[in-house]
Amino acid sequence: MKSAFLSVIFLFLSVTAFSQTRGDRGYRVKVGDMVPNITLHLINGKTMKLKQLRGKVVVLQFTASWCPVCRREMPHLESEIWQHFKNKKFMLIGVDYNEPLAKVKAFKKEMKVTYPFALDPGGKIFHHFAYKGAGVTRNVVINPKGKIVFLTRLYNVKEFEAMKAKIASMLSGK
């Protein structure tokens, strides 16, 4: 019985270690991939296809109200990314994972963010980019031609600063 228990623990730790060291960090996509032409259903009732945003730098921020890391990152996205770049050829869209409209509206208001939000019932949009079971708190940065140029996972200050620099570089034409 004890050896069976230890085997289960060893298997669990092995699988956990593998998932933490996989280079894809739960992403189905990679830098250099073209984004699919998904349709975003914004919480203001409008719809938008990603293809309509060609010519702009786009960030899709995958989030959810129950995610503490998302909540930690969102004020930085608002002040350091959205407020700084919104008047340029830039779009940041929060894509809320599988929550109803009323909850998403309340979450956005509570977090005091002004960038647009889209609904993602069943995680269909999320699963174009990440595997089922992969966590939210992800940013997908897309260049004006529709190609993925940067991917983040969780909120890491160094990675966030690198993302910010990448966005600034693309918007300045460098």
Please state the domain extents for the chain.
26-172
Enumerate the β-bridge partners of residue 92. Answer: 59
The model's confidence at residue 173, banded by pLDDT at 50, 70 and 90, is confident
CATH superfamily of 26-172: Glutaredoxin (3.40.30.10)
- Chain-centroid distance of CA 4 in Å reads 39
Question: From CA 25, how far away is CA 27, in angstroms rounded?
Answer: 6
Instruction: Give me the amino acid identity at 48.
Output: M
Helix (H) or strand (E) holding 108: helix 101-111
pTM of the model: 0.85
Place of tokens 């293809």: 51
Write the pLDDT tens digit of every residue in 94-118. Answer: 999 999 999 999 999 999 999 999 9
Q: Taking residues 12-17, what's their average pLDDT?
A: 36
Contacts of 171 (CB under 8 A, 6+ apart): 57, 85, 88, 89, 90
